[in-house]
């Protein structure tokens, strides 16, 4: 796809972006091997199993203790973000098919949203649901597909969206022009929904109630890395996966004439810069205060695109690895 670079001046990277380990360091990882690659998101089901989707379209349920794996569905596309309901149903963002619902393990898959205002969803990314059944979900890019996700980061297209599916099935666009919209988390009191903007190094909050209803502001900004999927932990915190630290070359190119990024995109993929290997997750409260910062070297696991906290355990997913990684909050 021809690149249409948009110039943007990023905030100066914080010193933390240059570190490769946190203090204290993230504890060692235990890997739960999968029959395929790319557990891009990980959520904890009501029965305690871990749910994830892999690159062949399968939805898997994984026992976090024994590692036993069961395939509970197949989307026919590429599943990304998930939301597990208490009744055993599962909301699925499929990058190719849109927003789906699995009624039960081994059950039927229903397409909830495939298009918005007559335009097919291009890159459905992450999802969360309120207790009343209202669904909030993100679309990362209206230009670039999942297989060329790096193209959107380099182009800085600003075509991501945060959407709401109401109880009557109507769709509202809550926020448009987002820089690679990604993880979505609903505040426990329902006052706001937050969305990660991977390409802008920030987490943006959209107010649902109160005097600020219908407006947005940054919950966290100028992160030291690229935020990806997010999840509300059992500790009440917003857990954010950081797929990679900030890239100094990209930060240098973004404010410059777009032809430089066009040239970079045109060179063979094997010669293009790759995301730095790291394992990284952070947690924030709903005032934007950092509570946890856990990182270790990406020697055996990397490109962490998901973090789920449950009772002090951390379950990590990756766009490229053939396993779910398990560690603990120190």
Q: Give pLDDT tens digits for 256-268.
A: 999 999 999 998 8
Please indicate, yes or no, if residue 7 is contained in any of the structural domains: no
Please indicate, yes or no, if residue 10 is contained in any of the structural domains: no
Residues near 322 by beta carbon (within 8 Å), at least 6 away in sequence? 33, 34, 36, 37
Please indicate, yes or no, if residue 43 is contained in any of the structural domains: yes
Contact 97, 123 (CB under 8 A): no
**Closest residue by Cα to residue 1 from 143, 168, 103, 118:** 143
Helix residue ranges, H only, the chain: 149-155, 248-253, 259-266
Please indicate, yes or no, if residue 212 is contained in any of the structural domains: yes
Q: In a structure prediction context, what are the per-residue pLDDT tens digits for the chain, which is 330 residues long?
A: 889 999 999 999 999 999 999 999 999 999 999 999 999 999 999 999 999 999 999 999 999 999 999 999 999 999 999 999 999 999 999 999 999 999 999 999 999 999 999 999 999 999 999 999 999 999 999 999 999 999 999 999 999 999 999 999 999 999 999 999 999 999 999 999 999 999 999 999 999 999 999 999 999 999 999 999 999 999 999 999 999 999 999 999 999 999 999 999 998 877 776 789 999 999 999 999 999 999 999 999 999 999 999 999 999 999 999 999 999 999
Contact 166, 173 (CB under 8 A): no
Counting the structural domains of the chain, the total is 1
CATH number at residue 317: 2.120.10.30
Please indicate, yes or no, if residue 17 is contained in any of the structural domains: no
Tell me how far apart the alpha carbons of residues 320 and 55 are, in angstroms, rounded to a whole number: 9
The parent domain of residue 301 ranges over: 26-267+277-328
The answer to whether the Cα torsion of 320, 152, 225, 95 is positive or negative is negative
SS3 190: coil
Tell me how far apart the alpha carbons of residues 101 and 316 are, in angstroms, rounded to a whole number: 23
- The pTM assigned to this predicted structure is 0.97
Please indicate, yes or no, if residue 118 is contained in any of the structural domains: yes
Please indicate, yes or no, if residue 19 is contained in any of the structural domains: no
Q: What is the pLDDT of residues 162-219, one digit of tens each?
A: 999 999 999 999 999 999 999 999 999 999 999 999 999 999 999 999 999 999 999 9
Q: Which residues pair with 123 in a beta bridge?
A: none
- CA 242-261-38 angle, to 5 degrees, is 35
Tell me how far apart the alpha carbons of residues 55 and 319 are, in angstroms, rounded to a whole number: 8
**Closest residue by Cα to residue 295 from 231, 224, 247:** 224
**Closest residue by Cα to residue 167 from 134, 128, 208, 131:** 134
Contact 78, 95 (CB under 8 A): yes
Please indicate, yes or no, if residue 206 is contained in any of the structural domains: yes
The answer to whether the Cα torsion of 253, 222, 161, 185 is positive or negative is positive
């Amino acid at each position: 796809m021809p690149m249409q670079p948009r110039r943007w001046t990023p905030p100066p990277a914080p010193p933390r972006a240059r570190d490769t380990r946190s203090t204290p360091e993230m504890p060692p990882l235990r890997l739960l091997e999968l029959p395929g690659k790319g557990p891009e998101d990980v959520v904890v089901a009501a029965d305690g199993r871990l749910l994830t989707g892999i690159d062949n379209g399968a939805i898997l349920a994984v026992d976090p203790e024994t590692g036993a794996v069961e395939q509970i569905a197949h989307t026919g596309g590429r599943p990304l973000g998930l939301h597990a309901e208490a009744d055993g149903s599962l909301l699925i963002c499929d990058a190719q098919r849109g927003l789906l619902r699995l009624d039960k393990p081994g059950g039927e898959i229903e397409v909830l949203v495939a298009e918005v205002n007559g335009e097919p969803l291009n890159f459905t990314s992450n999802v969360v649901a309120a207790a009343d059944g209202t669904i909030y979900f993100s679309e990362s890019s209206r230009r670039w597909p999942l297989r060329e996700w790096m193209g959107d980061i380099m182009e800085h297209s600003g075509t991501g969206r945060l959407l709401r599916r109401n109880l009557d099935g109507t769709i509202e666009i809550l926020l448009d022009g987002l820089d690679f919209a990604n993880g979505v988390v609903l505040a426990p009191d329902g006052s706001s929904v937050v969305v990660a903007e991977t390409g802008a190094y920030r987490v943006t909050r959209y107010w649902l109630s109160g005097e600020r209803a219908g407006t947005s502001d940054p919950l966290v900004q100028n992160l030291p890395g690229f935020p990806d999927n997010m999840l509300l932990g059992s500790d009440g915190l917003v857990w954010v996966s950081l797929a990679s630290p900030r890239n100094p070359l990209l930060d240098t190119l973004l404010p410059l004439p777009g032809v430089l990024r066009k040239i970079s995109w045109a060179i063979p993929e094997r010669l293009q810069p790759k995301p730095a290997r790291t394992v990284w997750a952070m947690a924030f409260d709903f005032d934007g205060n950092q509570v946890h910062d856990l990182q270790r070297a990406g020697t055996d696991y990397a490109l962490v695109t998901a973090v789920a906290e449950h009772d002090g355990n951390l379950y990590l997913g990756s766009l490229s690895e053939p396993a779910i990684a398990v560690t603990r909050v120190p």
